[in-house]
A and B are shown apart, each in its own frame.
Chain A
Amino acid sequence: MSRHLQANISDKQKQKILYQMTELALLESASLISSLGHNQVKFTVDLIGLKNKNDLDKLFNPDHPDMFAVCHQVEGPCTGHIIFLLEEKSASIFTKAVLNKKDQMLKLSEMEEEALVELGNIIVNNFLSNYVHILDESISTDIPILKQQKYAPLVDELNNEPVDKEFYIVRFAVEIATYNFFAHILWFDHFCQLDREPTGLHKIVPIQE
């Protein structure tokens, strides 16, 4: 596409694209995780927005700041990070429910941590494959790494720019076995720098607004 045909797209348009990508990515992820694990899982989009560090205490529970994050570094026209993030307790419930582990221990074993990385990788890769198809953009990712950290320093570390830099967040409800909790996808830099109309929106199924 020539430069003069490129158009800046608004935050509202980005959120619409992100919503469509999210719906599709979560559907594909839930289907795959249900087939791999021992329990059916359902994901439902709850919130999509452009946020900054000052919003963190409203997005997460300051009484339970410890989080697990499966972090993927994205290289391409814009570099950045995309992470699958959830509270420590939710990470434990999610992983143990997928693996059908009955123990109530909060701490994850090394094997369970490996499984959590794979679960995060499945979800993030579904986001990114939709991103590539919709935007017709070439990117690459490194092998994901697991971080266990409080949310504020984690966001600081990944957002290695001014404190007020914005990032996109997707919060989605997870239903598995008898449990309900929230999980999140955070996009640093990459999606925020999107400055042109997507070329592949026709490739995804339209959704009701």
Chain B
Amino acid sequence: MQNMSRQLDTLMRDSTLFDVINSGLIVLNHKGEVVIWNKWMVQHSFIDTNKALKQSFLQLFPELTKRLQTAVSNALSLHLSSIISARLGQSVLPLYRNE
């Protein structure tokens, strides 16, 4: 757990690196709280970093699909990886393109 905490600290320190990624990146801690919320996410969710950080992911998006809720819960409590694509017709998160 200490090792994980150190890794999280390093991640947060280097978080500006994630802002140059042209994809959305969200990192949650073991309690399901947001610890990384990159610039792409700010631009496409219209949720500011300050509002997102330390918020419970499930509270941030209360209308998450059951599939995503299960995937997050599987990852946090059971350490199971999931793939969720938009191929099955699901809108994974309410994200918007800034025209």
Contact = CB atoms under 8 A, between A and B. Distances in A.
Interface of A: 32, 35-38, 72, 98-99, 111-112, 114-115, 117-119, 121-122, 125, 128-129, 132, 138-144
Given A32-B67, A143-B83, A144-B83, A115 B78 contact: no
A98 B74 contact: no
Contacts of B13: none
Contacts of B74: 125, 129
Given A32-B67, A35-B66, A36-B67, A140 B84 contact: no
A119 B88 CA distance: 9
B79 A140 contact: yes
A140 B80 contact: yes
Interface residues of B, number: 16
Contacts of B78: 128-129, 132, 139
A118 B80 contact: no
Contact of A36 (B81, B83, B90): B90
B62 interface: no
Given A32-B66, A129-B74, A141 B89 contact: no
B79 A36 contact: no
Contacts, number: 61
B50 interface: no
B13 to A, nearest CB: 25
Given A32-B66, A32-B67, A125-B74, A37 B80 contact: no
Nearest to A143: B81
B57 to A, nearest CB: 18
Given A125-B74, A129-B74, A115 B80 contact: no
Interface in B65-99: 66-67, 70, 74, 78-85, 87-90
Most chain-B Cβ atoms within 10 A of its Cβ — which of A115, A117, A144? Answer: A115
B81 A115 contact: no
Contacts of B85: 114-115, 117-118
Contacts of B87: 99, 111-112, 114-115, 118
Given A37-B88, A99-B87, A118-B87, A125 B67 contact: no
B2 to A, nearest CB: 17
Contacts of A129: 74, 78, 80
B76 to A, nearest CB: 12
B64 to A, nearest CB: 14
B16 to A, nearest CB: 26
Contacts of A111: 87
A128 B84 contact: no
State the 10 A-B residue pairs at the shortest beta-carbon distance, nearest first: A140-B79, A115-B87, A36-B88, A114-B85, A143-B81, A114-B87, A141-B81, A121-B83, A125-B80, A132-B78
Contacts of A32: 66-67, 70
Contacts of B67: 32, 36, 122
